[in-house]
A = this chain, B = another copy of it.
């Protein structure tokens, strides 16, 4: 566990250095969780008590429409943060599912604890500020890709951007992420 916490500290310190005291304070606000493939981290309709930093593994975050079809909002793997951010932030029942595509391990941060460490340690507030901003930028680019590109070029774009991800994830899930049917994706390129 020491080792895993060290990974989290490194993750924070990629942006801002922390003193040992600060880190000890921060660290004490996380809790560890481990799940097997196919287990749920978050389920629609239930409370979302945490956001999760992924130590190891791979998850998908998705919503299910009225026809039972799955729409993938995000894939998240090592070093990513994942949650039903909307439900978490507003402390409402969730609307999306997050489940494990591989055995996974997490550090869990409650809203209360997040606010506590942000107010106590400014470097942490700045860390989350920068992270959220980068996330925002990524989502803007995804929106632009949905508005401007054909399904096929979105696929090529993703192949270039996250080649390792594609190898870890079934193509039908990639299709769902791109907003295209499994069959159509299968007809693309090579």
Contacts and interface: CB of A to CB of B under 8 A. Distances in A.
Interface string A33-66: 0000000000000000000000000000001010
Contacts of A140: 73-74, 85-86, 139
A135 interface: yes
Nearest to A177: B147
Interface stretch (A6-14, A101-109, A126-134, A157-165): A126-134
Interface string A68-112: 010111100000000001100100000000000000000000000
A89 B134 contact: yes
A86 B146 contact: no
A137 interface: yes
A18 interface: no
Interface residues of A, number: 34
Contacts of A133: 85, 89, 128, 132
Contacts of A119: 122, 126
B128 A118 contact: no
Interface string A141-159: 1111011100000000000
A143 B143 contact: yes
Contacts of A86: 137, 140-141
B147 A71 contact: yes
A148 B63 contact: yes
A108 B166 CA distance: 40
B89 A148 contact: no
A139 B141 contact: no
Contacts of A148: 63, 65, 69, 71
Contacts of A126: 118-119, 125, 129
Sort A-B residue pairs by CB-CB distance and give the 3 closest, nearest first: A132-B132, A139-B139, A129-B129
